[in-house]
Amino acid sequence: MDRLIKQYIIICETTSQMLNTDGLLKSKGIRTELMPTPGEYGSICTTAIAFAAEDKRNATKILKDEGIAESLEIFPYQSRKLAGLMNRLKDQIISSGFQQVMEKIENGEELTKEEIVLLLKCESKSEKAALFQAADQMRKEIIGDTVEIRGAIEFSNYCKKKCNYCGIRNGCATPKRYRMTVKEVMERVYELHELGIKTVILQSGEDEYYTPEILIDMIRRIKKETKMGITLSIGERSYETYRALREAGANNFLLKIETTNPQIFNVIHPDDDFDTRMECSRWLKELGYANGSGNMIGLPGQTEEDIAEDILFFKKMRIHMIGIGPFIPAKGTPFENYETGSVDLTLKAVAVTRLVCKNVYLPATTALASIDPDGQTKALKSGANTIMLISTPDKYRINYQIYSNKNMVDLSSALKSVAESGRQLPEYLKIHSKEVV
Ligand code: SF4
């Protein structure tokens, strides 16, 4: 039996215990990954630490030597089958090809690129319903019904780059530029902390005004004063900077690949280089960040085959948080007249990503909510399990329109989506849905 187990997971009681334990194991040479805590463990800490079975003896000894083994629990972890899936789908009218792929999912088998494309291309109402149902079951069995809530602070809308679709690209006249001080950032951090939120996302354009020293100061203050998990989303930086920020206490890094098709990547990002973006993703992984990525659906020239490659990239890189949103070109940009990506294909991409990547954080993205008022609820019913609150101060948030008509997902709208999708708020959130909805 033991030989069949490829991974073990550590379940912690609190986020700070989880982060400290993960840091300890990494510092002793154990390769770890963070993943959503499987639903059956019902832990308050929604993130678990995974490590390879061959490291079990070492990891256990390290935890014992540090005197923390007693307060943690270690369980074997195996790739999930979806028992009973075909029985649940028996009333749906699905093609034999679609059925074969669903049977592979039920048996816990890996999908090929062609099979992923087949799912992304499904068009009939019953096949789409079957796809969303399977993804929702996978989410429920792996993670449970709790929706992870994170807070995003967009602390600067200056950017040195000119991505062709982006509303805060360098030279774009529309937004009033702003930079938040560390003090202003901390005020928002305290508010999120008081709400019980465990992870703050610090997001900006590629703004070198924020030197490593300023960012380190911000990270250290957040860690010292709140112990919150910190996700950075600040674009491409040097290896040394990524390392310094990691050492200062940043836990996660969100650097979206946007598309794994190099031709499309280069067209939409005139001053980016595909290989550099890939290299940055590898550096972040090597440095021990929980690595976030994501893509846009509906990019000019993008096919379902491209999206399938994106999903396989997320799996291969063992990406921990995957943001999938529709392509929405902002007004006043070179791409302003391009068509917006479809809600339908975005939801299918979310569902297939859940089925292929399984135990990952999948946000119901703000971009989806921006083109469909029910977008977040639909995503939560199609495999998503995370919502990011826009926590940027009111006076600034209107100027962080990376795409036009951006939905300012606030606590009230997030709680509404959680309630509408029949899901639960995390125990750590110091508020109840009925108080707001
Ligand atoms: S997408 Fe990001 S890097 Fe590109 S212009 Fe916008 S903020 Fe800058």
Interval 18-36: pLDDT, tens: 888 998 999 999 999 888 7
Spell out the domain ranges in the chain: 2-77, 85-142, 147-436
Nearest ligand 1 atom to the CA of 269 is 4
CATH code of the region 2-77: 3.30.70.240
Expressed in angstroms and rounded, the spacing between residue 132 Cα and the centre of ligand 1 is 31
Q: What pLDDT was estimated at residue 41? A: 73
Choices 3.30.1480.10, 3.40.50.300, 3.20.20.70, 2.70.98.60: CATH for 147-436: 3.20.20.70
Q: What pLDDT was estimated at residue 433? A: 47
Which residue has the CA at smallest separation from atom 7 of ligand 1?
205
Expressed in angstroms and rounded, the spacing between residue 334 Cα and the centre of ligand 1 is 13
Expressed in angstroms and rounded, the spacing between residue 57 Cα and the centre of ligand 1 is 45
Mutate which of 154, 156, 162, 163 to test ligand 1's pocket (most atoms within 8 Å of Cβ)? 163
Written as six digits, the tokens of 205 are 């354009």
Nearest ligand 1 atom to the CA of 167 is 6
Expressed in angstroms and rounded, the spacing between residue 176 Cα and the centre of ligand 1 is 15
pLDDT tens digits for 383-427?
Answer: 999 999 999 999 999 999 887 777 777 888 899 999 999 999 998
Mutate which of 169, 232, 399 to test ligand 1's pocket (most atoms within 8 Å of Cβ)? 169
Residues with CB under 6 A from ligand 1: 159, 161, 163, 166, 168-169, 205-206, 235, 402
CB 208 within 8 A of CB 178: no
pLDDT-wise least confident of 80-84, 122-126, 313-317: 80-84
Interior CA angle at 277 toward 275 and 281, to 5°? Answer: 115
Expressed in angstroms and rounded, the spacing between residue 430 Cα and the centre of ligand 1 is 34
pLDDT tens digits for 155-194?
Answer: 999 999 999 999 999 999 888 999 999 999 999 999 999 9
pLDDT of residue 2 exceeding 80, the answer is no
Expressed in angstroms and rounded, the spacing between residue 294 Cα and the centre of ligand 1 is 14
Of 293, 340, 290, 287, nearest to 312 by C-alpha is 293
Confidence of residue 59 (pLDDT cuts 50, 70, 90): very high
Q: Where are the beta strands (DSSP E) in 157-220?
A: 199-204
Q: How many whole angstroms separate alpha carbon 59 and alpha carbon 235?
A: 33
Nearest ligand 1 atom to the CA of 162 is 5
Dihedral sign computed on CA atoms, order 222, 227, 231, 235: positive
Total Cβ atoms within 10 A of residue 46: 23
How far from chain centre, in Å, is Cα 411?
18
Mean pLDDT of all residues in the chain?
Answer: 92
Expressed in angstroms and rounded, the spacing between residue 78 Cα and the centre of ligand 1 is 38
Count Cβ atoms within 10 A of the Cβ of residue 423 and give its class: 0-12 exposed, 13-18 middle, 19 or more buried.
buried
Q: What pLDDT was estimated at residue 5? A: 67
Which residue has the CA at smallest separation from atom 5 of ligand 1?
169
